[in-house]
Structure 1
Amino acid sequence: MKLSPEKSVSLFFCIAAGVVLACAFDKTGAGFAAWFAPGLLLVGICRVSGRTAFLFGLLAGFVHYLLLLYWLVPTMHRYGPMSVWLSFFALLLLAFYLALYTGVFAWAVTLVPVRPVFLVVWVPVCWVALEYAKTFLFTGFPWGLAGYSQYRYPVLIQSADLFGVYGVSFFVCAVSAGLFLFFMHLFHGRWQNRLVGQGAAVAGLLITAGLFFANGGYGMFRLSEQDAAGKPSSQLRVSVIQANIEQSLKWDDAYVEAILDKYIRLSLSAAEKQPDLVVWPETAVPFYFFNDAKRTRRVLDMAERMKKPLLAGAPAYERREDSGGLDLFNSAYLIDHRGRVKGRYDKVHLVPFGEYVPLKKWLPFVGKIVPETGDFSSGRPGRLLSAGNADMGVQICYEIIFPHLSAAMVRAGADILVNITNDAWFGNTSAPFQHFSMAVFRAVENRRPVVRAANTGISGFIDPAGRIRASSAVFQTTSLTRDVAPAEGKVGFYTRYPHLLPGFCSAAALVFLLAGLRKGLRTRRAS
């Protein structure tokens, strides 16, 4: 099919939107690119029908997610039973699914016949509603939300304590829509047969400037407020251990002793800095705790030898009383300074096709991408672990990408958020940086410090304002020690109402879409 020159230009802008948005999440730190991506997509769909807008949006999203999630191919090929071509096909399927949200966004913004100036509100409302849907549908995959692209700009993300990462996504999309109006006026462009006049362009610029002023002003106020608060009354000194264990060796029984030796050596060295807590990453203990008595004893004895509490990631199991079968868990054990287990947190939100197979009863032919990890069960939500003067909300790996899970931990009484993870799967790609950026937002949203221990990086410490106080390089063997201040029980607005803004955007989008569909149906009947 031959495309008209006009549609060819539209396709170019849609593809450019996908590429530019992907650049905002690259490890180069070009987060400002996100301010232009939605606007480029608007240029691409400004003069097409709703059906064509959906297809163009689907293309933009497909390009974006292919570039954003490219690291899935080497991950699935190297550590899963999948060929390169099958891994690439799986990436195509996931990118297509996620691109459907972008396609629906493009369709939605063209369906409702708003005046150009109202795009500054309508665009972010639709975008946030679909990000919220992406967080929950089919177990949820809120990876690469627009707001995360801003994690390197502390001043611009402080409003996350009011509306979460969704609020920052709203800000990014509103700014992009305002810039779109200005440039469309400069080039005498139209939005759905409406000329973008001078008034709309001026209004777009004023709204954009107002958003920057309000968001930036609030950010500077909150940062200065925290800096003026001075030294907190109590602090917890924490050491995180990044042993940098190669994933292909991690579950090889021949290397277990060497892995334990490395963790013990790094921990004893860190203990010289007198930490109140030592943290090991997810599944740092590469065997089922208590199943191997001798090796378990080595870990317990090390905590007693350090005379420091240890939080260590390890798989766990429980025997069912009714059937005698086993429930397996991806867990974190808290071991006190006397070598006694004082508590255990079991991962609640598991990785589909990585830690379990959804609908396994009906899909017996589908296996896990990474078979070595076991078929885990979900733990009990809201379980805190206490170390010294702090109640810790532990988030294992994938859980940190879900804003409402961290908020629930803080509402339950968590003073500190601890994220333990194993990002060795991702290699030297953008994925560890993308994953780390989400931990920054959990700190700001809940005004809690985040301690992060990763097997191969990025490990680090994030203060309640989202500032990265210390971090490790990827694939570096190291330990980091820093004082963190447990929060004093105050729960902020977002933590109390994490679903307020995205829920409002979802309801508003649904109402206006239904109105747009009804009006379109009446028009077709009349014609």
Structure 2
Amino acid sequence: MKGCRENSGVDRYGVGFSVFSGALLGVATTALVSWLAWVCLVPFLLAVRNAKKPVAQVCWAGLAYGLVMSFWVAGAALRYTGDRWCVALLCHGVAVGIMAAKAVILLMLFVPVRRKPVGVQLLFWPPAATLAEMGMYHLLEGFPWFQYPVGFSQATNLYVSQLAAVGGIFLLSFAVLVLNLVCARAMKRRSAAWAVLFVVLLALLHGGGALAVRQVEGLRMDGFRVALANDNSSFTLRWTRERVDEYAQRLLGLAASIKGKGQCLTIWNEGVVPWAYRPDDDLILAILKATNTSADTLHLIGMTTAAMGHTFNSAYLFTGKGQVMGRYDKQNLLKGIEMPASGMKLPFFEASPFEEPAEANRGILAAGRARIGVLICNESSTNRVAASFARSPYDFLVVLANNNWFTGTPLIRHHFYFNRLLAIRNRKDLVVNNNLGVSGHISASGIIVQRRESKEPFVSYCTVKKIVNHGDT
């Protein structure tokens, strides 16, 4: 009986540790606390080793993680669906379930080796969990609010995040899991040697990252001047028919504030013109005419395309006189919002679903002497689209986005740091213009050159550069 009571006490203690670990992992990821991610799983790793019911502990940890990661979903769904509580609560429940399941899969892979030597654990768990994350990441493509690898927690750490240039966000996940195992070993054995190894690994990650940043910054040359024109309009202004004149005046006022400062390109945000392109569109022509820039300045403007029964989420490249020089159509659509998921789509006024484009409008756009890779909104949260641009040389990445629906949620900040990892992964300067989100300029090394978050219209200017290898000069 005494042994049973002791085991029961260990189980209760272990459940608490597991819940604590799951919650810490959620905090480290959603708040982007890089150092917390290095140790957040240590309580779970210590408690589950001798657990009588390890699967239960894994499930409790997963639930805690899911609740922390999804706390914002109901509020965002309410805004998107027009205060439909039933839909919002359903979305919240689904989000908690999916995020919890992801954590359960990740932690469950440790259970078979929990009593094995630490060498076996290091050889099995980090690689297996990283592969599982890769599979879940691709399975959930089109649902960016569920695509959170453990490695995303390192996006605010400039030096550690340099690993993304080698193996993407998943190599960051691998590093985080290894650090947690090493730290757990040091604490369990109270071993100075393992503690030293933990510190050495961190020193190597930070030192190597610092060297990589310095090297990349030394290769950035040949600047292109770019302007960001951000209207920062709420959805009630942008998509309310009765307020179309008010919205048009807001855009014209913003256009008039754009000055000619040598920029070759003015970038607007996603869907800034809230209807489909027409060659005789008076608003487009009025916006271009209102700007105080030279006729050579190009404008990249987000709007939709409706052609032959098809609808695309697009970015149009205009000359100062309104001539279309190119168009990019969004490839990675939001499932359940921009396109149906399993036949279902969240209600969004009367908008029709978008479609994925054919090959014609998926490539690089030539903006004067600059060649740009254009991404729209959530396409910057994965590397699939950006990687496709590598087939031909280009100079920098441009992201047009709209975070209107996620105001007041962590996704505003997350989106910007996904952009940072994308810039590092592709070693390209990246410029993002995000309606009611975080806009700015990130260098190819990941250094945040410019960052701006506002609820008012603004125009900002930056000089983006491209990587020039010594053999190219």
Q: 1:177 to 1:410 in 2, by over 3 A?
A: same
Please give the root-mean-square deviation of Cα atoms over the aligned residues, in Å. Answer: 2.5
Which of 136, 139, 155 is matched with 2:138 structurally? Answer: 136
The separation in 2 between residues aligned to 1:433 and 1:45, in whole angstroms, is 33
Q: 1:127 to 1:456 in 2, by over 3 A?
A: same
Q: 1:84 to 1:462 in 2, by over 3 A?
A: same
Q: CA deviation at 1:53?
A: 3.3
1:347 aligns with 2:340: no
Which of 313, 316, 330 is matched with 2:302 structurally? Answer: 313
Which of 165, 172, 194 is matched with 1:168 structurally? Answer: 172
Q: Cα deviation per residue 1:297-339 (whole Å; 9 max; x = unaligned)? A: 33454569653211011011110xxxxxx11111111112332
Q: CA deviation at 1:456?
A: 0.8
Aligned to 1:244: 232
3-state SS of 1:356 partner: coil
Aligned to 2:15: 11
User: Do 2:161 and 2:172's aligned partners in 1 also have CA atoms closer than 8 Å?
Assistant: yes
User: Do 1:66 and 1:91's aligned partners in 2 also have CA atoms closer than 8 Å?
Assistant: no
One-letter identity of the residue aligned with 2:176: V
Question: Mean Cα displacement is larger for which, 337-346 or 439-448?
Answer: 337-346
Q: 1:209 to 1:451 in 2, by over 3 A?
A: same
Question: Mean Cα displacement is larger for which, 204-213 or 382-391?
Answer: 204-213
Aligned to 1:504: none
The separation in 1 between residues aligned to 2:35 and 2:466, in whole angstroms, is 32
Question: Mean Cα displacement is larger for which, 111-120 or 171-180?
Answer: 111-120
Aligned to 2:430: 450
Q: 1:239 to 1:296 in 2, by over 3 A?
A: closer
Aligned to 1:34: 37
Which of 379, 390, 413 is matched with 2:357 structurally? Answer: 379
Q: CA deviation at 1:157?
A: 1.3
1:226 aligns with 2:216: yes
Q: 1:170 to 1:474 in 2, by over 3 A?
A: farther
The separation in 2 between residues aligned to 1:58 and 1:250, in whole angstroms, is 43
Q: CA deviation at 1:74?
A: 1.1
1:486 aligns with 2:469: no
One-letter identity of the residue aligned with 1:358: A
Say which structure, 1 or 2, has more relative contact order (CA 8 Å, 6+ apart): 1
User: Do 1:144 and 1:434's aligned partners in 2 also have CA atoms closer than 8 Å?
Assistant: no
Q: CA deviation at 1:244?
A: 1.2
1:370 aligns with 2:348: yes
3-state SS of 2:373 partner: strand
Which of 256, 262, 286 is matched with 2:250 structurally? Answer: 262
Which of 287, 291, 298 is matched with 2:275 structurally? Answer: 287
Q: How does 1:459-498 map to 2 (within 5 A)?
A: 459-488=439-468
One-letter identity of the residue aligned with 1:128: T
Aligned to 1:46: 49
Which of 309, 313, 332 is matched with 2:315 structurally? Answer: 332
Aligned to 1:213: 203
Question: Mean Cα displacement is larger for which, 475-484 or 347-356?
Answer: 475-484
User: Do 2:256 and 2:291's aligned partners in 1 also have CA atoms closer than 8 Å?
Assistant: no
Q: CA deviation at 1:159?
A: 2.0
Which of 10, 25, 28 is matched with 1:24 structurally? Answer: 28
3-state SS of 1:88 partner: helix
Q: CA deviation at 1:468?
A: 0.9
Q: CA deviation at 1:479?
A: 2.0
Aligned to 2:108: 107
Give the TM-score normalised by structure 1: 0.81
The separation in 1 between residues aligned to 2:290 and 2:49, in whole angstroms, is 64
The separation in 1 between residues aligned to 2:177 and 2:23, in whole angstroms, is 16
Which of 116, 123, 126 is matched with 1:124 structurally? Answer: 126
Q: CA deviation at 1:138?
A: 4.7
Q: CA deviation at 1:342?
A: 0.8
3-state SS of 1:406 partner: helix
Q: Cα deviation per residue 1:347-405 (whole Å; 9 max; x = unaligned)? A: 10111111011233xxxxx3324344421001246411111222111111111111232
Q: 1:258 to 1:413 in 2, by over 3 A?
A: farther
Q: 1:386 to 1:44 in 2, by over 3 A?
A: farther
Q: CA deviation at 1:268?
A: 3.3
Q: CA deviation at 1:71?
A: 2.1
Q: 1:303 to 1:379 in 2, by over 3 A?
A: farther
The separation in 1 between residues aligned to 2:82 and 2:331, in whole angstroms, is 26
Aligned to 1:89: 90
The separation in 1 between residues aligned to 2:274 and 2:352, in whole angstroms, is 12
3-state SS of 1:442 partner: helix
Q: What is the aligned-residue identity percentage?
A: 22
3-state SS of 1:375 partner: coil
User: Do 1:159 and 1:218's aligned partners in 2 also have CA atoms closer than 8 Å?
Assistant: no
One-letter identity of the residue aligned with 2:171: G
Structure 1: runs of 5 or more not aligned:
187-197, 320-325, 361-365, 491-527
Aligned to 2:57: 56
Which of 386, 389, 392 is matched with 1:409 structurally? Answer: 389
Give the TM-score normalised by structure 2: 0.89
The separation in 2 between residues aligned to 1:291 and 1:276, in whole angstroms, is 23
Q: 1:213 to 1:287 in 2, by over 3 A?
A: same
3-state SS of 1:330 partner: strand
Q: 1:370 to 1:59 in 2, by over 3 A?
A: farther
Q: Cα deviation per residue 1:238-294 (whole Å; 9 max; x = unaligned)? A: 111221101122111222333233233223323333321111111011111118733
One-letter identity of the residue aligned with 2:51: V
The separation in 2 between residues aligned to 1:390 and 1:452, in whole angstroms, is 16
Question: Mean Cα displacement is larger for which, 444-453 or 422-431?
Answer: 422-431
1:180 aligns with 2:184: yes
Structure 2: runs of 5 or more not aligned:
none
Q: 1:140 to 1:247 in 2, by over 3 A?
A: closer
